[in-house]
Every structure is written in structure tokens, then in C-alpha cells.
Structure 1
């Protein structure tokens, strides 16, 4: 199973949806909670070039946010990425 990382805010509905999709696939992502900001937020921006959450990485590859994750699922590519 692939290593999945997600930068997350607990009040973000997109974060909750993305986490639910990953859990439905049996994936427990490493969650970096950004509720208080801090250095993990800066790390997320540096890694992804984006300032919004969630930002999701699969095996170190930035796959984007919630909409991007669901697009991968819709296109049948998510399972392949997660199986690597």
C-alpha cells in the first residue's frame, strides 16, 4: 500500500470528504493538522505550491486537493496509485 500524506484542517468539509474516500479504500493517511497553522502549513505551501487544504501526496507525489482526488477516483487511477 502506498504512503499517503494529507495536510488537513478539522473544520474543512473538503478535508473530511477526502479522508472519507481514502478510508473507504482502506487507507490511513498521515494527517498533518493545520488548525493552528505553523511550520507544517509552510511545508505544505512549499511542497504543493498551494495555500488551500486539503493537499494530498501519494508516495511523495502531489496529487492535489479533494476535487483532484475524486477526479482520480472517477478516472479509475486512484486504486493504481494506492496499490503502488
Structure 2
């Protein structure tokens, strides 16, 4: 089974971003990170992909918005993250 693409929008010095990336790293998940510290087109893209989202991180698995760091941790805690990751 092919693992879905994981994308994460982050900002420099963001503790929640660091926590989400650490969880993904601990699971051996490859992800693409978009640093939107200075705004720009990637920030606009994030808001378009996750309407109403204004905080980081914003995490997408297989193109589906799953939310932020707390949402990612909840999925892991409830045993649902591995299924989303195709494991």
C-alpha cells in the first residue's frame, strides 16, 4: 500500500509546529513542510485548502485537512493516525 502524502504548514519558532513534526518523525513519516512565516502564496494556499484556518501548523494527509498539532496528537492517541497514514 502506498502511503499518502503528508504536508504541514509551519512558522518559525512555533512550538506546536515542532511538536507535530516530532510526532511525525517518531513514526517515520516523510512529510513536506511549507514555512509560511513571512506569509506569501503558501499561506494563501493553506487558507484556501483549510477554510477558516489561521493558525499553524495545518496538517494535510492525503490531501485531507486534519487540523493542527492537537488534532494530530488526538488521532495518534485514539489509534486512528496509522490508518490515515496507510499503515
| Structure 1 residue 60 corresponds to structure 2 residue 63 | yes
- Mapped to 2, the partners of 1:58 and 1:29 lie a distance apart of 9
Matched with 1:14 is: 16
Task: String of CA shifts for 1:57-83, please: whole Å, max 9, x gaps.
Answer: 000011000000000001100011112
Task: String of CA shifts for 1:4-36, please: whole Å, max 9, x gaps.
Answer: 000011210000000000000101210000111
- Mapped to 1, the partners of 2:26 and 2:85 lie a distance apart of 12
- Mapped to 1, the partners of 2:23 and 2:54 lie a distance apart of 22
TM-score by length of 2: 0.92
Structure 2 runs not aligned, ≥5 long: none
Residue 45 of structure 1 aligns to a residue whose secondary structure is: helix
- Where does structure 1 differ by over 3 angstroms across 4 or more consecutive aligned residues? none
How many residues are paired up? Answer: 84
Root mean square deviation, CA, Å? 1.0
